[in-house]
């Protein structure tokens, strides 16, 4: 937290009445010195809004006042509580997937909704692209996000995945269908119509799926979308869902199913075929992968 004695910001004067009413309800004493719209004081905090739109805040208790009220409710940025960080705190839904490059295990998509204070909290929690986090950190953060945020996740285990892939005949179309289904559910839960998706294909693929579902949202498809905090939160939920899914399958099979599509995966698949027969692949693996042809 910044150790400064006086905080200064510019305020949109159309918010002056709201600010004054909020401060009054919070127990501030309101006065009107010359050249000000108002001045407000209570124990530990004083603030003054000038006719120019300049707002000053002082006092021992100013930090929590700025962080928990002024920034999310009036300023719409978090420069004081997160100096140097330009944080977009517009409420939105973030979307990502995990497991599409893994031969074994499920395909998971996740959509997470965060409001302005929630986005600031994601930053404090250390949320970032799941590819840059350890499995233990992913598990810990996923637990926190699931407990505190509205989210929808869809997990297709191989048996169902292979059945649907046979109908869609294209992984990107299947993924688009899953993402739009998760998005539609979360829009219904939250009423939020703004979403960001980590782009995985030509934007037309997802746009077509949106039209088919008649879902009206402002969707941004962004390359390296996980740089967005809410998309990063979705990447953590999706990754945790994949890891939990492949662990479940490993326990059912009585052997570890490796992630990815490496030589280790082929070794494990051959061992599993010897133990359980070739038909077992349809229950644990994405059978359209090239890995299947190698087997």
pLDDT tens by residue, 228-240: 999 999 999 999 9
Residue 120 has pLDDT above 90, yes or no: no
Parse the chain into domains and list their residue ranges: 6-75, 92-248
Which residues lie below 8 Å from residue 170, measured CB to CB, with a gap of 6+?
Answer: none
Checking if the pLDDT of 30 tops 80, the result is yes
Tokens representing residue 274 in the block: 């010897």
Average pLDDT, the chain: 91
Which tokens go with 85?
């960080």
CA pair distance 237, 244, nearest whole angstrom: 11
Q: What average pLDDT does this structure show over 74-93?
A: 75
Pairing state between β 54-58 and 6-10: antiparallel
Rounded to the nearest 5 percent, the helix, strand and coil shares of the chain are 50, 20, 30
* Integer Cα distance of 72 and 79 in angstroms: 11
pLDDT in tens, 142-181: 999 999 999 999 999 999 999 999 999 999 999 999 999 9
Picking from 277, 109, 265, 126, the residue whose alpha carbon sits closest to that of residue 198 is 109
Residues near 71 by beta carbon (within 8 Å), at least 6 away in sequence: 77, 78, 79, 80, 81, 120
Q: In which region does residue 214 sit, left (phi positive, over 0), alpha (psi from -120 to 50) or beta (all else)?
A: left
Q: What is the DSSP string of 68-111?
A: IIIIIIII---TTTSTT-------EEEEEEE-TT-SBS-EEEEE
Which CATH class name applies to 92-248? alpha beta
Of the ranges 82-91, 117-126, 249-258, the best mean pLDDT one: 249-258
Query: CA 108, CA 117: separation in Å to the nearest integer?
Result: 27
Predicted confidence at residue 3, as pLDDT, reads 52
In this structure, which CATH number among 3.40.50.2020, 3.40.190.10, 3.30.420.10, 3.30.310.10 belongs to the domain 6-75? 3.30.310.10
186: pLDDT strictly greater than 50: yes
Q: pLDDT per residue over 192-205, tens digit each?
A: 999 999 998 899 99
Residue 265 predicted with pLDDT over 80 = yes
Residue 16 has pLDDT above 50, yes or no: yes
Residue 100 has pLDDT above 50, yes or no: yes
């Amino acid at each position: 937290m910044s150790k400064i004695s006086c905080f200064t910001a510019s305020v949109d004067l159309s918010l002056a009445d709201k600010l004054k009413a909020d401060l009054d309800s919070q127990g501030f004493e309101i006065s009107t010195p010359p050249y000000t719209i108002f001045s407000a004081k209570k124990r530990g905090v004083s603030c003054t809004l000038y006719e120019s739109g300049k707002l000053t805040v002082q006092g021992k208790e100013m930090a929590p006042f700025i962080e928990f009220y002024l920034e999310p409710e009036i300023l719409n940025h978090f420069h004081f509580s997160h100096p140097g960080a330009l944080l977009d705190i517009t409420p939105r839904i973030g979307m990502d997937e995990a497991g599409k490059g893994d031969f074994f295990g499920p395909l998971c998509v996740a959509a997470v909704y965060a409001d302005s204070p929630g986005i600031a909290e994601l930053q404090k929690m250390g949320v970032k692209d799941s590819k840059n986090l350890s499995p233990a950190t992913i598990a810990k953060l996923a637990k926190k996000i699931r407990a505190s945020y509205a989210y929808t996740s869809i997990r297709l285990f191989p048996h169902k995945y292979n059945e649907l892939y046979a109908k869609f005949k294209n992984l990107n179309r299947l993924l688009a269908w899953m993402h739009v289904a998760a998005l539609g559910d979360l829009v219904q839960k939250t009423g939020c119509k703004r979403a960001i998706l980590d782009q995985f294909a030509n934007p037309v693929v997802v746009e077509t799926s949106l039209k088919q579902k008649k879902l009206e949202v402002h969707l941004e498809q962004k390359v390296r979308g996980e740089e967005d905090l809410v998309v990063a939160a979705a990447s953590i939920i999706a990754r945790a869902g994949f890891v939990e899914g492949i662990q479940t399958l490993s326990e059912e099979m009585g052997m570890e199913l490796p992630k990815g599509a490496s030589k280790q995966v082929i070794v494990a698949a051959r061992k599993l075929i010897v133990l359980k027969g070739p038909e077992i692949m349809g229950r644990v693996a994405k059978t359209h992968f090239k890995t299947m042809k190698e087997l």
